[in-house]
Each structure stands twice: as C-alpha cells, then as structure tokens.
Chain A
Amino acid sequence: MDELIRYAPGLAAGFLKNLQLAALCALFSLSLGTILVAMRVAPTPVLRGAGAVYVTVVRNTPLTLVLAFSAVGLSDTLGLTFSDTPSTNSFWLVVLGLSIYTSAFVCEALRSGINTVPLGQAEAARAIGLTFVQSLRLVILPQAFRSVVAPLGSVMIAMTKNTTVAIAAGYLAESSFVMKDTFDNTGVSIPIFLGLVAAFMTVTLPIGVCASRLAGRFAVAR
C-alpha cells in the first residue's frame, strides 16, 4: 500500500497524460471518422473505394503495429515532426496514430447508424418528392444519429483503453509505462496495479453508463 502512496504522483501524472491523449484522439477521430463516412456513402465510386480501402487496411492492422509504424514510418520516413522537443513530438505522433486507427471504427459506427434506418423511410421520403440532400437531412440522418450513440460510446471506451498502447510508439510518459518502470525497479506491486485499474474504471464505466442511458433516451421507437 505504501508503494502506491509513494508512486502516486508519478502514476497520477501518467494517467493525466492518458486522459489528454484520449481527449485529443476523441476530437480528431470523430472529425476524421465523419469525413470517412461521408466518403463511404458518396455517389462517387472513387471516394467510396478510397474510404473502403482505408477502413479495411486500418481496421485489420493491430494497433501496436500502427503506433510503432507511426513512430518509425511517419516520423522518420515521411519526415513528419510536430515539435523539436522529442517528448512533445512523440505525444503528437501517438495522437495521430491513435486517431487514424480509431477513426476507422468511428466511421463504421456511424455507418451502422445510417444503416439501421429502415428502407421504408428512404422510400417514403422519395415518394413525397424530397431530393437526395433533403431526404438525408430531414429523414435519414436524424434517425441515424440517434442510433449511433451506443456504438460510438463503446468506440470511445476502447480508445481510452488503447491510450495505454502509446508505449509501443516510444511515448514514455503515460501511466502504463510508469507502472512498468516501477515494476522493473522495485518489483511488482498489487496496490499499484489496482490503483491504476480503479483510475481507468472511473473513466470508462461512466462513459459506458452515460452512453447506454443516452442511447435509451434517444432510441427511435419502431
């Protein structure tokens, strides 16, 4: 127990980094995911194909490889550097890699929302003479957004947990690395592990409860 108290500041600082990563990735992945889903339902086959290729490639690659590659391939090869300070640079590379990965899942969650809308709705919208854009805006999308809350919630929970894999990209300031470092130096400690587990649960469980409650409230009765 005293190890937990002794290392609490370091672990808390690390956990804060996890939260920062999660918040930024949520922002970027939601934006990129929306663009992707627009591409995937667009009338142009080229855009649809590009979107499908992106999602297939990214969803089927392990996150560890995506992050390790973003540290090596993107940074070293494409010369993409965000800052001269190595730790900040590393931080933003992790944000980029994790956002690229999560946006594929966001896209699929949004697409599943669009696809839960029954065919009859689209047919009815067409039948009363609405154009493509009007039927989307007035009939399809409102129903679609109301049913994406639950899948999006679980994508966000998974993303929060995935911030721990930042260690694979060489980012050494977040909590799972701090925990590993502590174990390497002073041996395994159950209280430290339980403390970190509790910290993560205080973030993921409320998101889950919130998402399911919101989903219930917004659900379209059919």
Chain B
Amino acid sequence: MKTVIVLVTCTLGLSACRGSFASTTLIDRIATDHAVVVGTKWDQPGMGLKVGRGEPQGFDIDVAKYLINELAGGQRMDIEWKESVSANREAFLTNGTVDMILSGYSITPARQQKVTFAGPYIVAHQDTMVRANATGISKVTDLEGKRICQVAGSISYKRITELPPEGKLGLKVQLVGAANYSECVAKLSGNNLDAVTSDDLLLAGFAAQAGGGLRILGDPFTDERWGVGLKRGDIKTCLAVNTAIARMYADGTARRLMDKWFGKATGLTLPTTLPPAEPCN
C-alpha cells in the first residue's frame, strides 16, 4: 500500500520522493547522490532573500555554496533551496525536509538538544532597531515597557525579556507577535511597534532598504554565534563542515563574502579570524 501511495505522489510531479528512510550521514549522501537541500531565510535582505524566480541570494547562501563545494570535493552538486522560517527549523531538520540550515541560526543550549550545530561561521551581535525619529530610546535598557517584536521560533526577544542562561537583560516589555522579521520591520515603520531587536547583520539589511527611516542603536549586548544546523547526531558531517569553515577563513573567502554583503553597513564589528568552533554535539 505504501508503494502505491509513493508512486501516486511521484506522479504528481513532486520532488517528494527524494530518498529512503536510510539514515546515512549527510556527507555520505552528498558523495553518492550529489544533491542536497539547504534551508535559508527568503525574506531577509543581505542574509537570504528570494529575488524572484531564481535561487535566493545573500550571505548565508554564498556561505552554504562554499561549504557544500568543499564537502563535495569540488564535484558538481545539485542544490535545492528551501525556505525555513524561524518556527520550523528544528522540525525540518528532524524530519529531513532539509539537510542543512543556514539562516542566522544562533547556537543555544536549548536548540542543541534537537539539532547538531557545526560552526559557528560568523559571530553577530544582537542590537536594536528603532524608527529614526524615535526619541527616548538610545540604549537597549530604554526598551523597558516598550513594544518589541516577537517572532515565533526566534530567541532574539528572549535575550531582552529573560535572564541568563536563555536571556540576558530580564526587562519587562510588551511583546507583539509577527510571523517573520520583515513583518516586524513593517510594523515598526507603521508605528505598531517601538523596536525590533535581532542580530545586527540582519537589521543592517533592513536598515539599508529603508533609507533613512530606521536606525540601529549601536548598542550590542550579546554575541550570537551563527551555526550550520544539521540533523541531530550527524557528527561526521559536523566535523567536515568545521574543517570547511576553517578553510573559508584561511583562504580569504570569509572576508570577501562579509565585505560583499555587509561592507556598506556602518557600525558593524565583523570577525577577522575564525571564530572558535563549537564541539560537535
């Protein structure tokens, strides 16, 4: 019966029948199938943005392409791009909808329970973005009592509302729900929110788009290590990706990509050397 269902699904022309249940590691699958599915954001300028019919563009995409090229040993690879929103990243990795995720995915202890992280491949800092004409907010502690954006699945707002280990500041704020960060930015410029707090690299993309209407406070208060999300337990691929990231910094590609995507933004501190790798869990 299952064969019939799978056959029917295949005839619908979907790319659904991509593999069997075999739980081989990603790097082995890359060697045999020459195909990989990468999840990134599709609506964040600078990091991962779908610019039309073709593949998305952004820093995360370029890093992913480099890493996959390294993992495949230079062989031609068939990369399928999928949108992974903050809320379903862990679910997608667990059930195999995507093979790896690069989407400003911060490494946290809670997430390490569900996925394996390779990297980090860059260290961002959490900052805050407000309307350019907003008086009274010049540092992050001024956010007390204000309305900030809460994106499902993202931990950024928790850094403000909770105390360590999940958070940092433990301020009392009002949370306004949104599906993703571009909605947050729209609500911010429409005066339905007072601040959007997230990684500065992410905010820089939106601020650049908004012209002068939004400004970043320039008061970073955490280190966010962006890692490559992999299926839980895939240590072999994790080690291989760590090697690839080291090579990316060694041969100058990391610097080149950072300049390409974030070079025009002011006030960002980008790493010049390889960030210390997380032990593969």
Contacts and interface: CB of A to CB of B under 8 A. Distances in A.
A86 B177 contact: yes
B192 A184 contact: no
B179 to A, nearest CB: 6
Interface stretch (B24-32, B68-76, B85-93, B212-220): B85-93
A184 B91 contact: yes
A184 B90 contact: yes
B153 A184 contact: yes
Contacts of A218: none
A172 interface: yes
Given A172-B152, A184-B153, A76 B192 contact: yes
Contacts of B87: 181, 184
Nearest to B95: A187
9 contacts: A72-B186, A85-B174, A86-B176, A170-B183, A172-B177, A184-B90, A184-B153, A185-B90, A185-B91
Interface residues of B, number: 21
Interface in A167-222: 170-172, 181, 183-185, 187
B170 to A, nearest CB: 20
B179 A86 contact: no
Summarize B's interface: helix, strand, loop or mixed. mixed
Summarize A's interface: helix, strand, loop or mixed. helix
Interface in B169-217: 174-179, 183, 186-187, 190-192
The 4 closest A-B pairs by CB, nearest first: A76-B190, A86-B176, A184-B91, A172-B177
Given A184-B87, A187-B94, A76 B187 contact: yes
Given A76-B187, A76-B190, A86-B147, A170 B178 contact: yes
A31 interface: no
B150 to A, nearest CB: 8
A134 interface: no
A181 B91 CA distance: 10
A106 to B, nearest CB: 29
A75 interface: yes
Nearest to A184: B91
Contacts of A170: 177-179, 183
A162 interface: no
B29 to A, nearest CB: 22
B177 A183 contact: no
A90 B190 CA distance: 15
Given A77-B190, A79-B191, A84-B174, 4 more contacts: A75-B190, A86-B175, A86-B177, A184-B91
Given A184-B87, A184-B153, A187-B94, A86 B174 contact: yes
B177 A81 contact: no
A76 B177 contact: no
Given A184-B91, A187-B94, A90 B177 contact: yes
